[in-house]
Amino acid sequence: LGPQRATEIRSLIRDVPGYPHEPIVFRDITPLLADGPALADVVEAFARLCEGDDGHGVDVVAGMEARGFLLGAPLAMRLGVGFVPLRKAGKLPPPVDRVSYDLEYGSAALELRSGTIRAGARVLVVDDVLATGGTAAAAVELVERCGGHVVAAAFLMELDGLGGRARLAGTAVETLLRVG
Ligand code: PRP
Ligand code: ADE
């Protein structure tokens, strides 16, 4: 995203102070999702991270429920690769692999159907928000435990001051916007 388009895209993310509780400022991407050209530009910007000599050579995209699905599935289609949903606990039939984690405003667990990821597959992990990095670290752990290789973790926005990037040390982190 160029600087001007990044500013426009940022203006389509709604800041909601006190949701789900103080002192969280919730970053709501639904206005962006509802804007066709903005959604297309975001997916295209993610796709460009994966192309060219310094691209990541992606075999499959993995996204975390729920907002990672909304960006990851169109990106996978754009790249011509498959999409792997990392689901919240209790949604997938067995057998599953599971990793529990804490996030900015709670705790949860992600599950992946055992055998979904081919051994050695190059996996791009995609989500909307990198906050504490708890969700993303769990996603990386889950994919790698299941035999995949996480080539990068890509986010629409990185929230400053919550340590997410440090939590993902050892993984290439790509973010389209920084939000303070
Ligand atoms: C949000 C967001 C990320 C995660 C980031 O998901 O979409 O997945 O929190 O927070 P962290 O970096 O502190 O882990 P949430 O669990 O609220 O689920 P949702 O997508 O179903 O709304
Ligand atoms: N996930 C974790 N922290 C968040 C925030 N502040 N806004 C939206 N999603 C989030």
* Cα 103 to ligand 2 centroid, rounded to whole Å: 9
Q: What is the largest CA-CA distance in the chain?
A: 46
DSSP assigned state of 93: P
Q: How many CB atoms lie within 10 A of CB 22?
A: 8
Kindly give the distance from the C-alpha atom of residue 104 to the centroid of ligand 2, in angstroms, as a whole number: 7
ipTM of the complex: 0.99
Q: Which residue reads 């639904």 in tokens?
A: 30
Q: Which atom of ligand 2 is nearest to the CA of 29?
A: 8
Compute, in angstroms, the gap from residue 115 CA to the centroid of ligand 2: 30
- Is 38 strand, coil or helix? helix
22 in active site = no
Look at the domain 54-179 and name its fold.
Rossmann fold (3.40.50)
pLDDT at residue number 56:
77
- Evaluate whether 86 touches 110 at the Cβ level (below 8 Å): yes
Residue 155 three-state SS: strand
Please tell me the number of the ligand nearest to residue 159's CA.
Answer: 2
Tokens representing 25 are 């400022």
Q: Given 5, 65, 98, 104, which residue is catalytic?
A: 104
Asked if pLDDT for residue 53 goes beyond 90, the answer is no
113 is catalytic: no
* pLDDT single digits (tens) 123-177: 999 999 999 999 999 999 999 999 999 999 999 999 999 999 999 999 999 999 9
Backbone angles phi, psi at 165, to 5 degrees: -65, -40
At residue 42, the 3 state secondary structure works out as: helix
